Structure 1
Amino acid sequence: MRRKGFPILRPLKLLTILVAILFVAPAVATAGWWSFVDRPGTWRSADWSSSGMLPAAPVTDEAAVYVFAARTGGLKGAFSVHSWIVLKRPGSARYERYDKVGWGSPIRRDGWAADGRWYSNPPEIVAMAQGARAVDLLPAMDAAIASYPWSHSGDYRIWPGPNSNSFVAHVLRQVPALGATLPPNAAGRDYAPGVASFDLAPDGRDLHVTLNGLAGFALGARSGLELHFLGLVAGVDIARPAVKIPAFGRVPLWPGS
């Protein structure tokens, strides 16, 4: 006679398999790839110089807003990028860079070159705006940077946050007009305090739900559909078709998306 198992075990088994396929397997595969990447052993030996993505000094008077991200160092680099914000004001001959770091002043201004490498890793531009659009965004960007709630000494935790990516994610949520979200491998971007957080974007076009940044989901015009687990993100980008792979990052489905 066939014995029946406990009904609750079947859903738990399916959930375990789903987590293994969606999150664990991609993260392990990315860690394996990262182990073969040539990289500096310490921060002292790393290259922090300009990547050359931006002119050393702005060549035009127009305003600009940039969001950069680059893989971080050590084992963390297998799972996460570090992100930062660069502002160029109209008529200014310099850039302003803003980072959240775990040492010194938590919100660091102009600590590195605007387009600098991070632990020798070249950055990518996550989002940008120039000209009149950037001029319109600058007041909101300034306000969002100033309103970051974890901006004091000691307000930093590598995982699950708040960290460098929690800072930039806060700014992007407060400035939905930029139309950007951080890459899926920006660990800490989904951190929120408390047991549970339900955050609807100011323009109502994105919903973010999280359990202390450890599990949750996002749904909306900018986020697409995302599932979050222990800082890893799996999902699909609908507006710019792409697959979001935990630890690895965003993979466009066709060029330019």
Structure 2
Amino acid sequence: MRRLLKSLAWITGSLALLLFGPLLMATSGNLAGAESWQDASRESAGIAPLASETPEAVVQVYGARAWSWRGYFAVHTWIATKEANADHYRVHEVTGWRRNVVNSRPGEPDRHWYGAAPELYADIRGKSAAELIPRIEQAVAAYPYPTEYNAWPGPNSNTFTAWVIRQTPGLDVALPNHAIGKDYLGDEIAARVPGGTGYQVSLGGYLGVLAGAREGLEVNVLGLSFGINPMALGIKLPGIGELALLNTNPMPDTETAAP
């Protein structure tokens, strides 16, 4: 009996740890949005440089809280690209309400995700971005789940973003731990981390561990990840994301990124 009680206490404590972040987000009121997705904001947040005023090539990676209750647990991520001297951006993402889930089209790179403000994860410009864009487009076209979508554990929008990053040499971007689905590897068990230096092991996105220079250490249990990031001086909590003092992802140097 004592052993059974210890087991139950351990399971209860583990579930409480995993759900603490999502429950905190649900009760904080910080994610209150529009009553209907039809009324939710899709306006630009004013983060990306205007295409008409930026002749250099631009590659950016964004994320925003998922719609409705899903936002308590996870973010939705996407990639935006602008070729040199182009007058528009292209947005590459996966949405689950279409037969062909991959969307790669002109659009606002930094628009709200149905009311949720976007966060910039990575910003690459100039020659480096120009070299990355053809590789990104090739990876988007080769995405292995063009007609499949499962919000949990994947493949979903974060699976897509992570896959494109892994398949694009030179695009090393660490995605946040609450990008549920980024750890879904399909039939594979091990893969390089999106951040570039490091590896991860995942059992269908349900259970896994990740270690990378940019990501730090993450443990994934039932799609919810927690861990530490020594390089960023941060901790990672399910639902909440990474609380860090530094950013380890590529951002433009203000002296060299100017046109």
Whether these two folds match at TM > 0.5 is yes
What is residue 133 of structure 2 aligned with on the other side?
A: 138
CA contact (8 A) 2:60 2:81 kept: yes
Tell me how far apart the structure 1 counterparts of residues 54 and 106 of structure 2 sit (CA, whole Å).
23
Tell me how far apart the structure 2 counterparts of residues 146 and 238 of structure 1 sit (CA, whole Å).
35
Are 2:205 and 1:210 aligned?
no
From 170, 188, 202, give the equivalent of 1:177. 170
Tell me how far apart the structure 1 counterparts of residues 130 and 18 of structure 2 sit (CA, whole Å).
40
Are 2:159 and 1:166 aligned?
yes
What is residue 30 of structure 1 aligned with on the other side?
A: 25
Equivalent AA in structure 1 for residue 190 of structure 2: F
Equivalent AA in structure 1 for residue 160 of structure 2: F
Tell me how far apart the structure 2 counterparts of residues 134 and 234 of structure 1 sit (CA, whole Å).
31
* Cα deviation 1:83-127 (Å, max 9, x = unaligned): 111011112121111110112331112375221101111101111
From 102, 111, 114, give the equivalent of 1:116. 111
Q: What secondary structure is seen at the aligned counterpart in 1 of 2:51?
A: coil
CA contact (8 A) 2:45 2:111 kept: yes
Structure whose alpha-carbon radius of gyration is higher: 1
Tell me how far apart the structure 1 counterparts of residues 116 and 38 of structure 2 sit (CA, whole Å).
14
CA contact (8 A) 2:57 2:126 kept: yes
CA contact (8 A) 2:65 2:75 kept: yes
User: 1:65: how far off?
Assistant: 0.6
Tell me how far apart the structure 2 counterparts of residues 182 and 234 of structure 1 sit (CA, whole Å).
13
Equivalent AA in structure 2 for residue 108 of structure 1: N
Gaps of 5+ in 1: none
Tell me how far apart the structure 1 counterparts of residues 15 and 216 of structure 2 sit (CA, whole Å).
22
Structure 1 pair 136/239, CA: closer, same or farther in 2 (3 Å)?
A: farther
Are 2:80 and 1:86 aligned?
yes
Tell me how far apart the structure 2 counterparts of residues 111 and 165 of structure 1 sit (CA, whole Å).
20
User: 1:133: how far off?
Assistant: 1.5
What is residue 157 of structure 1 aligned with on the other side?
A: 150
Percent of pairs identical after alignment?
Answer: 32
Structure 1 pair 125/205, CA: closer, same or farther in 2 (3 Å)?
A: same
Structure 1 pair 28/38, CA: closer, same or farther in 2 (3 Å)?
A: closer
CA contact (8 A) 2:175 2:194 kept: no
Gaps of 5+ in 2: 249-259
Structure 1 pair 256/169, CA: closer, same or farther in 2 (3 Å)?
A: closer
* Cα deviation 1:103-161 (Å, max 9, x = unaligned): 23311123752211011111011111111121232232222212211013xx1111111
Tell me how far apart the structure 2 counterparts of residues 176 and 234 of structure 1 sit (CA, whole Å).
27
Give the count of matched residue pairs: 247
User: 1:210: how far off?
Assistant: 1.0
Equivalent AA in structure 2 for residue 192 of structure 1: L
CA contact (8 A) 1:176 1:203 kept: no
When the two chains are superposed, the root-mean-square deviation of aligned CA atoms in Å is 2.5
Equivalent AA in structure 2 for residue 54 of structure 1: A
What is residue 59 of structure 1 aligned with on the other side?
A: 53
1:37-56 to 2 correspondence within 5 Å?
37-56=31-50
User: 1:241: how far off?
Assistant: 2.1
User: 1:30: how far off?
Assistant: 2.2
What is residue 129 of structure 1 aligned with on the other side?
A: 124
Q: What secondary structure is seen at the aligned counterpart in 2 of 1:43?
A: coil
Q: What secondary structure is seen at the aligned counterpart in 2 of 1:50?
A: coil
CA contact (8 A) 1:58 1:95 kept: no
